């Protein structure tokens, strides 16, 4: 069963290796392990609904609690300590397009806000009702999950938008196809959520981001329905698919989507490649991207992330063995680990690996190690479970991410790290901060930074430290010339920084689009472009 106050299925655990516990205590100190609030305590904190009982929705506290937030750090603190600031007044479950239409009409009639809810994996406050806001209905779309058609000539599949990653891939795999969209939240996030947040999968270098995979769909809005035909391309004015991508539930509710699929690849493999330092690794991945080599993934960790990954992997013998070997080969503390993915036709994959290996060698990289790649592959969707264990061990963890041109990427990464350190130091904390280049493009890269710090005995103190750090680092991202989000979207947390990227006039254009589709402002108020 899915955890109600943490990540993932409660049958899956990621225990913290003993040596990793000692490592973290040495780096950041020991955090508070105050026990969590119980489900019963949380349920008692749910206020009476402001909406009447109705057979078309549930006003039960449990439904409302389970749809009150996503997976951001404030959401975690709220869920674990019983301090969630707002709950939906009702939760409805759509089983058909007609259900979506009638819920839009009902909410309009009752002056209620409506929040489209996919898998609830947002990390930036996309699905949280606004404290003090209007009565709110959360519309859970996860029952809209059928594969409606697969056209093998056009290689386009049509799914209902609430389908989650594993179900979508299972349906396609049974017919020999794949979408290839694998965000780390794959287990629970949905097709509609991916489109509404412009999500990016781990192998987007090969399969494309969701923007490249989304071919068309059907949107229900308060102003009427929009059908977006799946055309391979169009010069007929601005592409409405691009307007819908990243609209975060503000323009309407996507009920079905056509996606571009591919036959399942003949081969898929991942490798670990060590570089002497992050900068030389970055030169290698830039060269690979700019040579248009058909790799599927390039993920380059800085020295701190390289060390932390090996420590948290919980394989002390392997780590010692690797450390000894690397030292003998002259790789010191600054070493940086690249995870290289190669997907596709067998012969081409072999050639690609050969080319990538020689580029890496030119930049001082060691030969690719398949075992490290296999370990990464095995834990690619398991790593988020570590957040549960870290929390119970006294640590809070969050991430920030951006994308920038190559000329700015590494200096920005350094500035982001410094800003996190400075901010936590002002709260007498020493955070553990590490970064990787997560997605690589010909003209730049995304920079993904993780920070871990001690939970304070008082949850308000944990939140205050987080808030200050989030503000500082968001300002640094903007000042460094990066986007406020490469893949997590805007939601509530990033909304104050959107104008820096869109300009005031651009933001008015987006607001006008929301108003045109939703004249009463009932759809997901406060998110993306503010109220
Ligand atoms: C552990 C973890 C790892 C993650 N890794 C990644 C990653 O690798 N890449 C990445 O891109 N993101 C990642 N995320 C962020 C998150 O998973 C994505 O933003 C995801 O796309 C959200 O999908 P969802 O179905 O859970 O949407 P939700 O969280 O339910 O909703 C997100 C937004 O989409 C809107 N929405 C949802 N469905 C619809 C619909 N049918 N019509 C209109 N609007 C809709 C909602 O109103 C809301 O504004 C991660 C999150 C977690 C917790």
> Which atom, in ligand 1's list, is nearest to the CA of 384?
1
440 with 409: CB under 8 angstroms? no
Per-residue pLDDT of the chain (531 residues; tens, 9 = 90+): 999 999 999 999 999 888 899 999 999 999 999 999 999 999 999 999 999 999 999 999 999 999 999 999 999 999 999 999 999 999 999 999 999 999 999 999 999 999 999 999 999 999 999 999 999 999 999 999 999 999 999 999 999 999 999 999 999 999 999 999 999 999 999 999 999 999 999 999 999 999 999 999 999 999 999 999 999 999 999 999 999 999 999 999 999 999 999 999 999 999 999 999 999 999 999 999 999 999 999 999 999 999 999 888 877 787 888 889 999 999 998 999 999 999 999 999 999 999 999 999 999 999 999 999 999 999 999 999 999 999 999 999 999 999 999 999 999 999 999 999 999 999 999 999 999 999 999 999 999 999 999 999 999 999 999 999 999 999 999 999 999 999 999 999 999 999 999 999 999 999 999 999 999 999 999 999 988
User: Atom 22, ligand 1: which residue's CA is nearest?
Assistant: 193
pLDDT at 217: 98
415: its two tokens = 């500035």
* CB of residue 524 inside a 6 A radius of ligand 1: yes
Ligand 1 mean position, distance from CA 277 (Å): 33
Does residue 488 have its Cβ closer than 6 Å to ligand 1? Answer: yes
Q: Please indicate whether residue 253, judged by its CB atom, sits closer than 6 Å to ligand 1.
A: yes
Q: Which pLDDT value is given to residue 60?
A: 98
Ligand 1, atom nearest to 387 Cα: 1
- Return the pLDDT at 2: 96
- Give backbone dihedrals phi and psi of 422, rounded to 5 degrees, phi first: -60, -45
Q: Which long-range contacts (CB under 8 A, 24 or more apart) does 506-514 make?
A: 513/243, 513/251, 514/250, 514/251
CB of 485 sitting under 6 A from ligand 1: no
Q: Is 190 in the pocket of ligand 1 (CB under 6 A)?
A: yes
Q: Cα Rg for the chain, rounded, in angstroms?
A: 23
Q: Is 416 in the pocket of ligand 1 (CB under 6 A)?
A: no
Burial class (CB in 10 A: 0-12, 13-18, 19+), 273: buried
Atom of ligand 1 nearest to the CA of 194: 21
pTM of the model: 0.97
C-alpha 220, offset from chain centre: 25
Which among 196, 207, 397, 523 is the best mutation to test ligand 1's pocket, defined by most ligand atoms within 8 Å of the CB?
196
Q: Whose CA is nearest to atom 9 of ligand 1?
A: 183
Pocket mutation for ligand 1, best pick of 159, 193, 381, 488 (most atoms within 8 Å of C-beta): 193
């Amino acid at each position: 069963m899915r955890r109600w106050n943490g990540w993932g299925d409660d049958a899956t655990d990621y225990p913290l290796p003993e040596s990793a516990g000692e490592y973290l205590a040495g780096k950041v100190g020991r955090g508070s392990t105050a026990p969590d609030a119980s489900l019963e305590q949380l349920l008692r904190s749910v206020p009476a609904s402001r909406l009447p009982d109705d057979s078309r929705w549930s006003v039960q506290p449990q439904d409302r609690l389970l749809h009150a937030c996503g997976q951001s750090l404030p959401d975690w603190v709220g869920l674990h300590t019983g301090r969630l600031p707002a709950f939906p007044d009702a939760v409805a479950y759509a089983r058909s397009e007609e259900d979506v239409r009638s819920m839009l009409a009902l909410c309009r009639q009752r002056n209620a806000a409506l929040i489209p809810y996919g898998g609830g994996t947002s990390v930036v406050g996309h699905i949280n009702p606004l404290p003090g806001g209007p009565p709110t209905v959360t519309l859970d779309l996860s029952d809209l999950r059928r594969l409606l058609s697969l056209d093998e000539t056009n290689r386009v599949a049509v799914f209902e938008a609430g389908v989650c990653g594993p179900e979508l891939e299972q349906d396609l795999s049974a017919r020999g196809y794949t979408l290839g969209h694998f965000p780390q939240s794959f287990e629970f996030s949905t097709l509609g959520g991916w489109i509404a947040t412009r999500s990016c999968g781990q192998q987007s270098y090969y399969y494309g981001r969701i923007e490249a995979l989304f071919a068309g769909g059907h949107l229900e809005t308060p102003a009427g329905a929009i059908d977006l035909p799946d055309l391979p391309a169009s010069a007929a004015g601005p592409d409405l698919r691009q307007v819908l991508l990243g609209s975060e539930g503000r323009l309407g509710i996507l009920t079905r989507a056509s996606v571009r699929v591919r036959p399942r690849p003949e081969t898929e493999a991942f490798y670990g490649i060590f570089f002497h330092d992050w900068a030389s690794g970055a030169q290698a991945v830039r060269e690979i991207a700019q040579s248009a080599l058909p790799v599927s993934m390039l993920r380059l960790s800085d020295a701190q992330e390289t060390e932390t990954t090996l420590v948290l992997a919980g394989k002390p013998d392997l780590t010692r063995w690797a450390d000894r070997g690397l030292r003998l080969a002259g790789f010191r503390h600054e070493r940086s680990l690249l995870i290289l993915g190669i997907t596709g036709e067998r012969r081409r994959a072999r050639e690609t690996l050969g080319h990538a290996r020689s580029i890496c060698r030119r930049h001082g990289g060691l030969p690719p190690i398949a075992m490290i790649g296999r370990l990464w592959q095995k834990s690619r969707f398991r790593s988020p479970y570590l957040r549960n264990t870290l929390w119970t061990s006294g640590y809070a963890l969050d991430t920030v991410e951006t994308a920038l041109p190559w000329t700015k990427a590494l200096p920005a990464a350094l500035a982001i790290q410094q800003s996190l350190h400075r901010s936590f130091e002002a709260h007498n904390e020493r955070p553990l901060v590490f970064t990787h280049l997560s997605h690589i493009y010909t003209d730049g890269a995304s920079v993904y930074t993780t920070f871990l710090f001690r939970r304070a005995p008082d949850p308000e103190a944990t939140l205050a430290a987080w808030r200050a750090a989030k503000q500082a680092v968001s300002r640094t991202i903007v000042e460094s010339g990066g986007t406020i989000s490469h893949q997590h979207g805007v939601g509530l947390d990033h909304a104050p920084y959107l104008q820096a990227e869109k300009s005031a006039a651009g933001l008015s254009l987006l607001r006008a689009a929301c108003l045109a589709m939703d004249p009463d402002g009932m759809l997901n108020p406060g998110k993306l472009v503010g109220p």
